Structure 1
């Protein structure tokens, strides 16, 4: 019996832990739409708020592309469209209310920094530029945030019943995706990790490939971390695929992990993605660029459960 069949036959509740207000549908929308009328599906979105002004140049430009200047209205509309998308699926969604990395500020800035921030807002922010929050490096001030997210998830994901938890693999190295991945890897030993779309389509967007679970201790936190493997082709780093002849399947098996592709309900998924009208201008400036590909998931199999390849 493979994992999806086990979920549907036993009607096991599924929890998709989404970093942002579009990530679950972007990366797992096909599987979510398939499961939604077969079992209870819950989407818990972690980073759903902005901070107050002043905003960095990146934040202002990001909103401007979508036609906004007011961050409150921008995130309000993002939350509303997220709820609307999941209502069409009869899936339950919950917004946890943490501040998005691009809008996250340093706590307790001194008066001099506050004054300077009126003219150069970047000095107030933990990740002032695009390259900072796409580096995959979590700043020390966010360690406390990770514990807060862990506590929030405990309130919504029951510890006493059977469930399957899905989380991002963090392809693309967005720090919010890395945070959610590491928290979920710590909390849910049988978590299933999705390959992040559309970042998994770029030639230079990922350094992440599940090969073996390990423990990251450099932060003085015993946070499980998904190991990375990087292959070099000329000067380009790219994501090793399980069907790549350079990555033998036995190496994936030897890691104790398995994978499966999901190619059902992809047409429905595209329609769901188009429901995120505030995000389409930044993700897919030309809608013809929105080419849906099969979804990819990694998990640690249990006895008698296999992947549906």
Structure 2
């Protein structure tokens, strides 16, 4: 007789699930079909980690992102994004939580005391922890200055786990190597008895998870294919983001991929 995976075992019950989302759309992009299917069966909480921007001046990379979103101010953009996220998740029957960390594009360095007064006069790239997207944020190298942030987020997730008592905790596996996705994984991976990793969409259209690392950890893929045809409707409701993510207008239909411990590690 086949041994059930961690997700299959949980599907038979009705205990809460907690999803960690790096940004204000990632959980729906990567897990929206499973979330919507299960929201009628159990409490689903989506906790988004990076939900704020620092005020201007912004780096060139951040300004480019803002133009893509048809806005000029980072703080204004993230207010709009939080409103989108709450509307989408509440319509799905999901409880949204915003943890309030600053997005990597807008995350500032802690300047030496003598430089603080001149901070706004310096080139923004010199005052931000990740000065570019391509050569910093997307290379998967978490800055040393984010160590304190990671510890704080680990405490935040532990508090959420204690408060909501979820049976499963879903975290991004980190396809695409975006530092915020990798930090989000680190924030939750200490809860190994509850942990499920999910493949990051749409990054996984062009990249694949690190199969060797997952095998070393004893994780194997688990696929969800129900409800995919209507998932694009929810993605489109993140209107500040959808056109930039899918400039052709077409949102590919792709099965959601999760990674769970081999069944013999579940027992």
**Does the alignment reach a TM-score above 0.5?**
yes
Identify if the C-alpha distance between structure 1 residues 180 and 116 changes in structure 2 by more than 3 Å, giving closer, same or farther: closer
2:67 is the alignment partner of 1:61: no
**2: CA distance between counterparts of 1:281 and 1:159?**
36
**1: CA distance between counterparts of 2:115 and 2:147?**
25
Counterpart in 1 of 2:89?
Answer: 86
**Are the equivalent residues in 2 in contact too, given 1:41–1:92 (CA < 8 A)?**
yes
**2: CA distance between counterparts of 1:168 and 1:184?**
9
Counterpart in 2 of 1:123?
Answer: 126
**1: CA distance between counterparts of 2:265 and 2:173?**
24
Aligned partner of residue 93 in structure 1, secondary structure: strand
Counterpart in 1 of 2:252?
Answer: 291
**Are the equivalent residues in 2 in contact too, given 1:33–1:268 (CA < 8 A)?**
no
**2: CA distance between counterparts of 1:292 and 1:152?**
33
Counterpart in 2 of 1:242?
Answer: none
For 1:1-309, list aligned pairs within 5 A.
1-112=4-115, 115=118, 118=121, 120-131=123-134, 132-158=136-162, 161=165, 163-202=167-206, 205=207, 208-211=209-212, 227=213, 252=215, 256-288=218-250, 290-303=251-264
TM-score normalized by the length of structure 1? 0.79
TM-superposed deviation, 1:10: 1.4
Identify if the C-alpha distance between structure 1 residues 72 and 292 changes in structure 2 by more than 3 Å, giving closer, same or farther: same
Aligned partner of residue 134 in structure 1, secondary structure: helix
Which string of whole-angstrom CA distances, capped at 9 and with x for unpartnered residues, describes residues 38-72 of structure 1? 11110000000001211001111111111101211
Aligned partner of residue 143 in structure 2, secondary structure: coil
Aligned partner of residue 10 in structure 1, secondary structure: coil
- Structure 1's unaligned 5+ residue stretches are 212-226, 229-251
**2: CA distance between counterparts of 1:194 and 1:49?**
23
**2: CA distance between counterparts of 1:141 and 1:107?**
8
**1: CA distance between counterparts of 2:78 and 2:119?**
26
**Are the equivalent residues in 2 in contact too, given 1:20–1:46 (CA < 8 A)?**
yes
Identify if the C-alpha distance between structure 1 residues 106 and 116 changes in structure 2 by more than 3 Å, giving closer, same or farther: closer
Which string of whole-angstrom CA distances, capped at 9 and with x for unpartnered residues, describes residues 150-173 of structure 1? 111122122894510000010000
TM-superposed deviation, 1:8: 3.1
TM-score normalized by the length of structure 2? 0.90
Which string of whole-angstrom CA distances, capped at 9 and with x for unpartnered residues, describes residues 240-277 of structure 1? xxxxxxxxxxxx5x852222111111123111101100
Greater length-normalized contact order (CA 8 Å, ≥ 6 residues apart): 2
Aligned residue pairs, count:
263
**1: CA distance between counterparts of 2:64 and 2:165?**
44
Q: What is the RMSD computed on CA atoms of the aligned residues?
A: 2.3
Which string of whole-angstrom CA distances, capped at 9 and with x for unpartnered residues, describes residues 117-159 of structure 1? 5352100001000120111111111011000001111221228
Identify if the C-alpha distance between structure 1 residues 267 and 294 changes in structure 2 by more than 3 Å, giving closer, same or farther: same
